[in-house]
Amino acid sequence: MSSKIMRWLFRCQRGNFSQKSQFSNCSDPRKVNDLLPYVESVLWGGQKVNLDCINAFGEFVIDAFGADVYSELCKYAKVTPDVKKSILLSQRFIS
């Protein structure tokens, strides 16, 4: 995950925005909801392909947003269909 997106997520969580920020047009913390399917997809895909670097992202989510948010994301209710399809197809070819 890009460090820019991680900083944006952190700013959304903290409500810390400046007008000079490159993300100032995204200053509404509710817009983080638009990213949830992608965050869930990263967590889901990382678990399926066993990527250790995703653990660090999961820890970031817990630290920044709390364990309850992480638990909700780990229900994987909003994983994007294209990610599911890609990961499941790649697992089938590997097996």
On whether the CB atoms of residues 46 and 57 are closer than 8 A, the answer is yes
Q: Could you tell me which of 38, 33, 36, 52 has the C-alpha nearest to residue 84? A: 38
Each residue's pLDDT expressed in tens, for the chain with a length of 95 residues: 456 666 666 666 555 544 344 444 555 666 778 888 999 999 998 888 878 888 888 888 898 888 888 999 999 999 999 988 888 887 776 65
Q: pTM of the full predicted structure?
A: 0.63
Task: Report the 10 Å Cβ neighbour count for 53.
Answer: 9
Q: How far apart are CA 65 and CA 32, in angstroms?
A: 11
